[in-house]
Structure 1
Amino acid sequence: MLRNCLPEGIHIVQKMYGCELDDETGATDGYDQYGYNGADFISLDLRSTSYVAPVSQAVNTKQKNDGATAEYQKNYLTQTCLEWLKKYVDYGKISLERKVPPQVSLLQTDPSSPVVCHTTGFYPDKVKISWQKDGQDLHEDVNVGRNDGTFQKRAKLKVTPDERKKNQFTCVVEHKSGDPIHMILTEEKIRTNINNVPGIVAGLVVAALVLIAVVVGVVMVVKR
């Protein structure tokens, strides 16, 4: 639009166009604006279907683009642009309004450490975690961590093994995706580093055997 009207040298031409839709009132609007060297140069007035030239240098450009060009831009901003805007808003709702339930795990480093109720994988990011003792909310010996934006949250319960045997402790996770999740604390549900030791040892043994096999293979090749 601004070609053949710029003097020689380095200059900055800016263009901004788009459409707006108020989903509450249904009001729509559109804009097609140009800037030259940081100042307003020319813009489209949708009501009059003509361009507005705030500076004298833009009068020639206005005269060339009033008429068919202005009509075409108005139709695009008030029809095509709004249709695509509504589609993108709908696409966004599918993603932004989805609800994914949290995955809950009970973790413990060793038998003397606190039991951690760990939640992850949920969306949206707001989730509430609490501990109950025999069906009653428990506030003492409970440390609830903050959600750090990674869609993970945890609550630590400091309780002795004897207390766990005498009482029923439950981790309650509340999320918009559905009904509250009640994870009853039992020894079978706790995942600890100790439980993973056999697997780690087995993995190391397999790795050692593979290394031995490779060494033997290399020796055989050298002998040949």
Structure 2
Amino acid sequence: MNTLIQTFLSGTWGTLSLFGVTLIGCLIGGTLLAAMRVSPIPVLRGASAAYVNVVRNTPLTLVMFFCVFGLPYLDIRFGSTAAMNSFVLANIALIAYTSCFVAETLRSGIATVPVGQAEAARAIGLSFTQVLSFIVLPQAFRTVLPPLGSVIIAMLKNTSIASAFNNRELISAMRGAIEVRGDIVIPLLLATALVYLALALVIGRVFDLLERKLVILR
């Protein structure tokens, strides 16, 4: 029993590691993509729109395949060990994919900010970057907290795909536990589901608290 608990703790830590890195990366990437989508420069708008439309409509498994197998084929590797390389490549795939959904969510928030505020900021001499950074994006983030929380919870569950690409996380831990104790498959499946449920509920609770404190009702 202690071995099974250690296996699940190791898998949970792997899932949390993937989640933490991907969360930071997709928030940064999604913000940049959203800023490009509303940029006054046509090339940036076109590049962002093309990237979002292509990657968002591509299955995550295919994106993961490209990163895990395609990048090493191009001699792009990270870390000195196979485990570290797989971890980084899986994060790249998750960030590349989830950033599209963050960008579209944030873009909908940008659309709710009154145009007059941006025009007033430009009238007093602020640049586009300053208007976006100090006026528009802070309000956009606060407006889209509820849907952004749903995107983040979906991203947590998407980390399970990394188990198929030599990453240690909850699903791979579950498979390892089933190989050792094939007589308790149902309890192991339920335990894995409960861990995901607990993590999702924690994230949902965090976003509920943020929403109560920060959300802007329009």
Q: Same fold (TM over 0.5)?
A: no
What is the TM-score of this pair, normalised by structure 2? 0.22
What is the TM-score of this pair, normalised by structure 1? 0.22
Bigger strand fraction? 1
Bigger helix fraction? 2
Q: Name the structure, 1 or 2, with higher relative contact order (CA <8 Å, separation 6+).
A: 2
